[in-house]
């Protein structure tokens, strides 16, 4: 593929559409940047070569123009000295140099047009390259942000799941403690109630025994008082 064909393909390409269709946009944009940079180098080399060619043509045109003036002066000198034959030959040389200068002038105009077009192409391609590099930076930022957001969401999801499990386990342990405390309290209450009733019975029995002993010591007859 020629350099100018590649240049026009690059300039006419729809970068956004290509990136949207690409499976790996970052790889695609790196390839495009490399292609642009290589084309830019070739365009600069071609432009420099064309400028050098223009300088050569300009020198030859200027030399032909100077020769034209020289033969005109010689023709005038010959006529002034009465040498019409030499004047005629001088004018023939003048016309040949004039034709050569005119041809070189046309060639120089075409060459300068190529240089101007090459410089315009360089400006356009440099702008396209700068824009593409900017898109590359934005694309990398978007990918970095996307990865960061994804990781953050995964972290939040994991943290949320862990907290939910931890809260459930804490609630379960709290309920189990409450149930255990209720069971212990119930046993204690039942034991305490039974112990109290037996203590009452035992206490009443001792009182009756003491009362009978007191009757016996003091004589049974006085118990009716």
Q: What is 47-108 written as a DSSP string? A: HHHHHHHHHHHHHHHHHHHHHHHHHHHHHHHHHHTT-HHHHHHHHHHHHHHHHHHHHHHHHH
Higher pLDDT: 185 or 45? It is 45
Q: What is the pLDDT, as a whole number, of residue 189?
A: 54
Higher pLDDT: 147 or 63? It is 63
**End-of-domain residue from the set 138, 159, 180:** 159
Higher pLDDT: 91 or 140? It is 91
1 pLDDT higher than 50 = no
Query: d(Cα 10, Cα 42) in Å, to the nearest integer?
Result: 14
pLDDT band at 217 (very low <50, low <70, confident <90, very high): confident
35 Cβ partners below 8 Å, 6+ apart? 6, 10
Query: d(Cα 138, Cα 143) in Å, to the nearest integer?
Result: 9
Residue with tokens 């070569």: 49
159 pLDDT higher than 60 = no
Range of the domain at 122: 3-159
Asked if 128 and 170 sit in the same domain, the reply is no
168 pLDDT higher than 80 = no
Domains: count for the chain = 2
109 pLDDT higher than 80 = yes
96 pLDDT higher than 50 = yes
Percentage of the chain beyond pLDDT 70 is 61
52 pLDDT higher than 80 = yes
Q: What is the pLDDT, as a whole number, of residue 66?
A: 97
Asked if 152 and 117 sit in the same domain, the reply is yes
Predicted confidence (pLDDT) per residue in 14-50, tens digit: 556 666 665 666 777 788 888 888 888 988 999 999 9
Considering the domain boundaries, does residue 224 fall inside one?
Answer: no
Average pLDDT, the chain: 77
117 pLDDT higher than 80 = yes
224 pLDDT higher than 50 = no
Asked if 193 and 126 sit in the same domain, the reply is no
207 pLDDT higher than 60 = yes
**End-of-domain residue from the set 159, 185, 200:** 159
Asked if 49 and 116 sit in the same domain, the reply is yes
Asked if 176 and 145 sit in the same domain, the reply is no
Considering the domain boundaries, does residue 65 fall inside one?
Answer: yes
Asked if 128 and 36 sit in the same domain, the reply is yes
Asked if 174 and 152 sit in the same domain, the reply is no
Q: What is the pLDDT, as a whole number, of residue 48?
A: 94
Q: What is the pLDDT, as a whole number, of residue 225?
A: 43
55 pLDDT higher than 90 = yes
**End-of-domain residue from the set 159, 175, 205:** 159
Asked if 141 and 197 sit in the same domain, the reply is no
Asked if 98 and 119 sit in the same domain, the reply is yes
Considering the domain boundaries, does residue 225 fall inside one?
Answer: no
């Amino acid at each position: 593929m020629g350099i100018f064909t590649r240049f026009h393909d690059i300039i006419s390409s729809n970068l956004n559409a290509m990136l949207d269709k690409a499976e790996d946009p970052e790889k695609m944009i790196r390839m495009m940047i490399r292609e642009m940079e290589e084309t830019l180098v070739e365009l600069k080399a071609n432009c420099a070569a064309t400028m050098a060619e223009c300088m050569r043509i300009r020198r030859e045109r200027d030399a032909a123009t100077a020769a034209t003036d020289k033969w005109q002066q010689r023709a005038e000198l010959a006529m002034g000295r009465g040498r019409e034959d030499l004047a005629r030959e001088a004018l023939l040389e003048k016309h040949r140099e004039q034709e050569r200068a005119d041809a070189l002038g046309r060639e120089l105009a075409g060459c300068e047009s190529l240089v101007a077009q090459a410089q315009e192409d360089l400006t356009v391609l440099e702008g396209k390259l700068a824009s593409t590099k900017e898109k590359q930076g934005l694309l990398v930022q978007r990918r970095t942000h996307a990865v960061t957001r994804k990781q953050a969401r995964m972290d939040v999801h994991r943290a949320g799941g862990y907290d939910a499990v931890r809260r459930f386990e804490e609630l379960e342990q709290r309920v189990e403690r409450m149930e255990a405390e209720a069971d212990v309290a119930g046993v204690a209450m039942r034991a305490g109630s039974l112990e109290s009733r037996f203590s009452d019975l035992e206490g009443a029995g001792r009182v009756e025994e003491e009362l009978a002993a007191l009757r016996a010591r003091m004589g049974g007859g006085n118990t009716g008082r």
